[in-house]
Amino acid sequence: MRLRCVECGATFEPLLIYRCSACGGILETDGSDDVAPFAFGEGRTPLLRASRIEATLSGFSGEIWLKDETRNPSGSFKDRLISAALGRAIAMGVRGVVCASSGNAGAATAAYAARAGMPAIIVVPAHTPIGKVTQISAHGAILLLVEGHYSRSYDLARALAEEHGFANLTTTFINPYAVAGLTQVGTEIFAQLGNAAPSHVLIPTGSGPLVKGVWQGLADAGATTRLVAVQAAGCAPIVRAFEAGAAQVTAWGMPDTIASGISDPLIGYERDGTYTLRLVRESGGLALAVSDDALRAAMQNLARLEGVYAEPTGASPIAALPRLLADGHLPAGSRVVCLITGHGFKDGRAYQEMPAHTHRVEDPGDTAAVARLCEAAMDGQNLTVRF
């Protein structure tokens, strides 16, 4: 196996290098890797038919599937990247790892490093949701909180890796071994659909390595799909470039969205977004942005219609479905896979603000009154159970 630059084609030995020395481009793995990932039970996540969400889409005639990445050990798809990257770091004898994160990659790194007995430094924005910060801290990693947007955390992690010899496990395109760990997402989808490709795959997108993983996995299986990169309206540099017909992605300003997992402005590594944009276009797909209100509605639909508890980022593909349908991108017979990338325990704040079917019971012995209360509540939910 070698590393290959996606821009100029230069190749390199499989070392801990993060950019092409010839042009500064993104590196990816080329060929089979003989280094095993540091496995912790990640992958082989379920693909679930979302028939009740299908029923909410007026005029839709097709299938909606949920690739439920919340089932990974630390609750997000980031476990796949960290497993692959940590396996390579251990094989190379590094003395520790560092990861810039908006939360999920940091939690994955902290968990996997703890199991490996590897020192870990996690760098996150100071406003990272408390659920993610708590999870990182629980595993004993050194946690650094940085004021401002995610790209500032990215710069600090990169400097620590370069100056102090730690392996950089940041899950943008910076670590080619990590990105290669996402190929299995595409191959799993293909196998779970009976060795067939979906018409569309909707992917929550920050810098975009999951877009690459889905594309590569399906390509390895001899299949293609339309890639749909979903971003938050409050941080959508790839969508902005797509809609403008631009070839290059430019950095965003300060993000403003509840979707912390995709609030990446790409400042200083805009090439990541440009590569993702290229993959989306080559697939015949598109990039679109969803509002925070649409994210909240999607979270509620996932939880109450399909029993899937997702953070705002993880629900973003569901938020994109009505727009795709309205704009004519989901013709009859479409088979759509939505990647649900992060568990709701990561960031439950939006759920806490939603109306809930909670009632105080003054007299638990009066079961008739309790039954009447429950029956009335079920009527409000259009459920027909009677006591």
pTM: 0.95
Burial state string for 160-176 with b = 16 or more CB within 10 A and e = fewer than 16 = bbeeeebbbbbbbbbbb
Q: Quick one: CA torsion of 72, 79, 207, 224, rounded to 10 degrees?
A: -60
- Domain 47-72+180-348 and domain 77-178, same fold? Reply is yes
Strand duo 120-125 + 286-290: pairing: unpaired
Q: What is the pLDDT of residue 354?
A: 85
pLDDT in tens, 175-223: 999 999 999 999 999 999 999 999 999 999 999 999 999 999 999 999 9
Q: Is the dihedral of CA 89, 94, 95, 101 positive or negative?
A: negative
Class of domain 47-72+180-348: alpha beta
Domain positions in the chain are 1-34, 47-72+180-348, 77-178
Q: What is the 3-state secondary structure (H, E, C) of 182-197?
A: CHHHHHHHHHHCCCCC
Q: Phi and psi at residue 336, in whole multiples of 5°?
A: -110, 130
77-178 classified as CATH 3.30.2350.10: no
| pLDDT of the residue at 160 | 96
Enumerate residues 6+ apart whose C-beta is below 8 A from 285: 200, 225, 226, 227, 228, 229
Classified as helix, coil or strand, 242 is: helix
Query: How does pLDDT run across 115-126, given as a tens digit for each residue?
Result: 999 999 999 999
User: What are residue 79's DSSP bridge partners?
Assistant: none
Q: Is the pLDDT of residue 358 over 90?
A: no
Cα–Cα distance between 203 and 215 in angstroms, integer?
11
Does residue 239 contact residue 290 with C-beta atoms inside 8 Å?
no
